Amino acid sequence: MMTKIAPSILSADFSRLAEEAQAAERAGADWLHVDVMDGRFVPNITMGFVVVEALKRVCGIPLDVHLMVVEPERYVERFVAAGASVVTIHAEATPHVQRALQLIRAAGAKAGLSLNPATPLDWFADVMGELDLALLMSVNPGFAGQKFIHRSFDRLRRLREMRDRLNPRTLIEVDGGVSVANAGELVEAGADVLVAGSAIFNDRASVARNLGEIRSALAH
């Protein structure tokens, strides 16, 4: 399967949101990653339903919505209604992980679960059978542009083994500090989907060139 690249719109210029999303789409992005933060689960506040709706109107690729909010089960259906194709919740953010995953699927989207860097990987195991996406955080969620936590490679290899054993259909996504320097190694270690924010939007070069460089790093 071809590795998917999901640019994180959090690093885009928000005064030109439509253009930035369309540039990512034209450059061959597979999904557009949308980081929703509530100022409680993480120390930052970003965007919500109206931004997802607006992106849906201007962008044809699937919206991959990453909810960094407490009690995500209260909001997942509205994000699907707003246009999310994938909705990912954090296991640390709710006592009702399985219920939230069911709500996402019943609403017609793919269901993802994410774990912070220090959360035991076992937390994926019992729900792997009903997971479309397992999102491994390789930074502490809250901000773009942080340094990749190197230990994530080991977690990724273990997650890959767990996924292959329990549900080969689950996609593994890595989020945080992904760049042209580590993209190839991440795919070798087991990533199916790479999220990249600052590496795609923050650089002086164009979105197309940044994304193209990551894509070609995967070819070697």
Q: Does 72 bind ligand DX5 (CB under 6 A)?
A: no
152 makes contact, choosing from Zn ion, ligand DX5, none, with CB < 5 to 8 Å by partner type, with none
Residue 90: name its binding partner from Zn ion, ligand DX5, none (Cβ under 5 to 8 Å by kind). none
Angle, helices 207-218/17-26, rounded to nearest 10 degrees? 30
With CB under 5 A as the contact rule, which of the stretches 27-35, 49-57, 94-102, 151-159 interacts with Zn ion?
27-35
Q: Round to whole Å and give the CA distance between 139 and 117.
A: 7
Among 101, 189, 199, 211, binds ligand DX5 (CB under 6 A): 199
Q: Which amino acid is at 207?
A: V
- Residue that has been written with the tokens 């220090």 in this structure: 118
Maximum C-alpha span of the chain: 45
Quick check: is 175 catalytic? yes
Q: What is the C-alpha to C-alpha distance for residues 207 and 201, in angstroms, rounded to an integer?
A: 6
Q: What are phi and psi of 87, to 5 degrees?
A: -125, 120
Cα distances from 94 to residues 80, 90, 98, 136, 209, in angstroms, run 19, 7, 10, 17, 39
Q: Quick check: 35 binds Zn ion (CB under 5 A)?
A: yes
Q: Which stretch binds Zn ion (CB under 5 A): 14-22, 168-176, 186-194, 201-209?
A: 168-176
With CB under 6 A as the contact rule, which of the stretches 13-21, 100-108, 117-125, 170-178 interacts with ligand DX5? 170-178
- Applying CB under 6 A, the residues found at the interface with ligand DX5 are 8, 10-11, 33, 35, 66, 139, 141-146, 175-178, 195-199
